[in-house]
Structures are given as structure tokens and as C-alpha cells.
A and B are shown apart, each in its own frame.
Chain A
Amino acid sequence: MASSGIDEIVLANATTDLAEYEAAGGYQALAKARTMTTAELTEELMASELRGRGGAFFPTGRKWSFVPSKEQLPKPHYLVVNADESEPGSFKDNEILSRVPHRFIEGCLITARTVECSNVFVYIRGEYSGPYEILVGALEELRDRPDIRGDVTIVVHRGAGAYICGEETALLESLEGERGQPRSKPPFPAISGLYAAPTVVNNVETIATVAPVIAMGGAEYAKLGVPNTRGTRVVSISGNVANGGNYEIEAGMSLRDMIYGLGGGIPGGRELKAVVPGGSSTVILTRDEIDVGYDFDSLGALRTAMGSAGVIVLDDRCCIVQLGIRFAEFYEHESCGKCTPCREGTRWLTAILRKLEDGRASQADLDLVLDVCDRINGKCLCPLGDSDAIIVASYVAKFREEFQAHIDQGGCPYGGSSSLDHVLAPVAMHAHSPAENVLEAARG
């Protein structure tokens, strides 16, 4: 991983070895935390202005403060760490778990102390065998170290391939042994989460930032970054860039510098066309919108977000309708099927976009795309369908001429030369449902 020119906080002194981690000051933040009260710890996190790194950007200290005390609600408390990183474009948690597992575990132990819990569950996506083995190995090293572990048990629970389980209530359902379908909120997990008990759900990067915050002090951490986005972020840069990878940046760095500095620019002498700034579910930015700070307020002014910090760079060979199809297929595949607008709408979006791409669409179909988006957005229990609707609508809004050209020319203006041409989506392999077979037979 190349340096972004700042002192790394989350990824500093990378090691999977306990002795090396301790030699570099590891687990000293935990020792310090044990001299502090839970109220002081929460206060320290509030002072750091740390906000959740999973995508929703909720203030971490405030989230912790919502958990009732043991006197108020005498039930076991749980800490659940969301390591189900599945957002297309994001692979930062993969890097954090693989390179600094002990900093992550130290964060788990400090957080557990703060929210008065002795059972931690780490829900890691099933595909991450590598990070899983590293994390389990690191926990194994702590087996003979009760001085570090205290009375906390950390269980690593593996997912099995479902994007929806990154949504916190779907994750809790999955962890309880059910299908990963979101719950209606309220009640929020802080009151009634895992096994109907008070539960804090935090992202891997958030937890990996806790130990450094306690070590350096919240006020010191808050000196980094810009207002409303303090500290550092581990950003994932991918797509048409020379040096794809994860980089820890100080919040507020310009997106242009991230792409052309850290990412090394666009290879092959191509031009930049667009950037997906925070994982597939964030509103797209055109090449003219990259002189923007990578922080909550600056991106918010462009009506987009940092999301889970997955920056996908697209060069001028990318057909935007095909981009819409590929992401729409993803959301269609990953819709859990619970809410009708999402289950049906994501499927219709793919179908209409494909009609456009194939040159079978009329002018009315372009309006129909936006109409379907409107009928999904805000009408479901979780934001999965909303994401599909919002991004597709943003593609139409920002690249309307390209959509129009598909109608006017009766097909794709790229004529087979787009970088996303004929990509085989997994969804194509899930068309063999029994219902389809019956319908096929009925058609004769």
C-alpha cells in the first residue's frame, strides 16, 4: 500500500503478530481504557467526532450512548461488528482485518468495555477466507492472554454470500440463524438488537479507529480532517486507475488528488469519464465534478456521499447505460425479496435498461426508468432498492444525451467497444427458477 503522505492511524505499524503489535505500543489503549469509566470512554469518542465508517456515517459515541445501562435494562448486551463488506468498490475492511487484526481486536475489547458487554460477534462475509483465517489466528494468540482478553468472548461468524447482510438488521437476522431480511425499525438495535437485547453494531474500520482515538485522545484525533468529517479514512480506489488499492487519507483530501495522485491517474492514455465516489450505491460524479473534498459536507453539496469509501474510476470507454445495467443486475440479484417495490422494481429497472441498450426502447421508456425509480425510492424497509433507484436516476440526470443516443441510434453508440460490453452477470445464472421453468413449459 502506497502512502498518502499522512501518518497512518488505522493502518499504521501493520502486523499480524501479537508480540510485534505489543512492541509497537499495542493494547496500551486498552490498558488506558480500563482506567476510565464507561461514561468517560463514550465522552472521549464524542470528542473525537468519529462517525461510522460503514456508510451511514452516524456519530459513534452517540450510538454507544443510546445503549441503556444494565440497571435500566437488565439483559446481556452485545457488540456486533459488521465485517460483511460487500459494497461493490469497497475492499478496505479486507485490508484492515488482514494487516492490523490486533488493532481491530483491541477496538472490539475497548468498545465491549464501554457498552458493558462480554459477548462480541464479528460477522464476516463468507468470501473473506483469507481475512477470516488471519483474524482467527490473532484471536488464537490471545487464548493464553487473559490479561488482554478479560472476560470478553469474541466469536467470528461467517456469512455465506448475501449483500443484504451488510444492512444491520438483516445482519442480526442472519446471525440469529434466519434468512438475512431487514427488520422494521424501530425498535433500533441499541434497545432491541441481537436476541432482542441491547446491541451496538459497528463497522470494522470504525472499531479499528477506537484504539487510536483512546490512545491519542479524542480532541487530538478531531484536529485531523475537516468539520463534520474528522480524522482519517481508508479509501478503496479501483477501476481504470494505474495504482488501485487502499489508501489511508486525511478526510477532506481532493478527489482529483486521490485519482491522479494516489491512484496514479488513468492508464493507457484514456480520458476520465466519471467517478463513483463511495461504492456502487452513491450518486455518480462526472469528470467536471472531481475538484471536491472527500468529506461529508463537500460531497453532500453535490448530493452524493462517501458511503463506504469505494472510489470507482471509469474511463471514456464506459457506456453509462451498461454501467446502469451492471449495477441494476447486482441490486436485482441481491434484493432479499421482502419488500415488493424493491423485489419487483429492481427487476424492472434491469429490464428497461437492457431494452435501451439493445435498441428496443422508445422515448417513453426513458420516462419509465425514472418512474420506476420513484416507485422504489423511500418505500422499503432498507436502503437496498433506494440505492438502485438513486444511482440509476443519477446516471440519467447526468448523462441524459447518452441515454437519448441509445434511443435515437437504436442501440449502443459504443457499438461493442464499451469496457462493460457483454459482461456476464451472476444474475444470468439464477434464471433457472422453478417458476421460469413452468412458464417456459406453458409457452410451449
Chain B
Amino acid sequence: MTETLYERIQEERAKYPPDSRSAVMPALRLAQDEYGWLSPEALREVADALEVTPAFCKSIASFYDQFHLAPVGEHLVEVCTNVSCAVVGAQQVVEAFERELGCRAGETSPDGRATLRTVECLGGCGWATIVSLDHHYRTHVKPEDVPGIVEELRGE
């Protein structure tokens, strides 16, 4: 186990009452940032650092959409397809990403560079279509913007 992850989890624990399990979400986030996804090994590390069981950690991780229980690409591309984005063309944006990345929504591109998925409302409805690139929002995205965005991801 990397010393820093363990230490950072302890820092999170210190923000909450000592007998609480409140640090489980921040700890899972730290582990996911470290490894890209929450593998059984990663869950065990979190469990050890928090003195809980891996099964408990998985029960929490599986409840929330942002935790990945399977490997994902280097980058995460999330397109909102709730109503406000959908009525101004979110589906066309999804399809443009599918073409450019060479994978369907819910899959990772063959070069492993990016995982594409559709998500529920991201809270940027008036600036539709919202695309979250590695958790930072691009607003007013149109299908014609997609090749440039994918090129950006590949260039990094």
C-alpha cells in the first residue's frame, strides 16, 4: 500500500467524529484517483485504512454512479442526456463521440484513451449540451465540436 494514500485517508478521517464511517466516500474517491478504478485490491486498501470490511466499502461504492467497479479509460467523457440537454441535441453529441472514439456509449475506446458514457442531469441545463471531461464541464457542446475535443484528449 502506498504510504501517501493511507495517510491521505487518515487526513480525511480526522475531519469527522472518530467513531463515524463518514470518511468512506472521500477515501474511495482518493483510491479511485490513485488507481483509476476501484479494484478488489483497492477496496481492501480502503477497508484497511478505515478499519471496516471490503464488503462494506463495495456496498457503498456500488451505490454511487461515480465510483468505477470496472477499469475505465485514461479519460472519462460523460454526456448529459437528461431532458434539457436532450431537446437541444445531446443525442447527436453522443453519436459524434461514438464515431470519433470508435466505441459505443458505455464502452472504452479501442486505444484505451477514453471511456464514453451518458449520464443523468449534470446541473448545467441552461448551457446545454453539457459534456463532463474528466469531471470538468464543457458547455454548449455541439456535434461539430467533438472532433476537436477528442483530438485534445489524444494529444495529452
* A interface residues (Cβ-Cβ under 8 A, vs B): 85-91, 93-94, 125-130, 155, 157-163, 174-180, 195, 236-240, 244-246, 276, 280, 310, 312, 314-315, 317-318, 323, 326-327, 330, 333-334, 336, 419-426, 428-429
Contacts and interface: CB of A to CB of B under 8 A. Distances in A.
A159 B83 contact: no
A85 B135 contact: no
A238 B117 CA distance: 22
B63 to A, nearest CB: 4
Given A130-B137, A161-B64, A312 B83 contact: yes
B123 A162 contact: no
A372 B126 CA distance: 32
A214 B11 CA distance: 36
Contacts of B29: 126, 158, 160
Contacts of B124: 91, 94
Contacts of B102: none
A179 B91 contact: no
A423 B90 contact: yes
B59 interface: yes
A326 B16 CA distance: 38
A180 B63 contact: yes
Contacts of A128: 123
Given A129-B136, A176-B20, A162 B63 contact: yes
Contact of B60 (A88, A177, A423): A177
Given A159-B25, A179-B63, A88 B126 contact: no
Interface centre among B94, B125, B127 (most CB of A within 10 A): B125
Given A127-B66, A158-B29, A240-B88, A429 B117 contact: yes
Given A86-B123, A88-B125, A424 B87 contact: no
B22 A236 contact: no
Given A280-B82, A426-B120, 15 more contacts: A90-B125, A93-B123, A94-B123, A129-B136, A158-B26, A160-B64, A161-B66, A177-B20, A239-B125, A280-B121, A310-B125, A330-B121, A425-B81, A428-B106, A429-B118
Nearest to A132: B135
B21 interface: yes
Interface in B42-87: 59-60, 63-67, 81-84, 86-87
Contacts of A86: 120-121, 123
A81 to B, nearest CB: 15
Given A162-B63, A180-B63, A195-B20, A423 B86 contact: yes
Contact of B21 (A176, A421, A423): A176
Given A160-B29, A312-B83, A423-B81, A127 B118 contact: no
Contacts of A424: 81, 91, 94, 105, 118
B126 A237 contact: yes
B83 to A, nearest CB: 6
A91 B123 contact: yes
Contacts of B123: 85-86, 90-91, 93-94, 125, 127-128
B39 interface: no
Nearest to A267: B88
Nearest to A123: B25
Contacts of B119: 127, 161, 426
B103 interface: no
Contacts of A180: 63-64
A91 B83 contact: no
A268 to B, nearest CB: 10
Contact of A87 (B28, B121, B127): B121
B86 A420 contact: yes
A314 B24 CA distance: 41
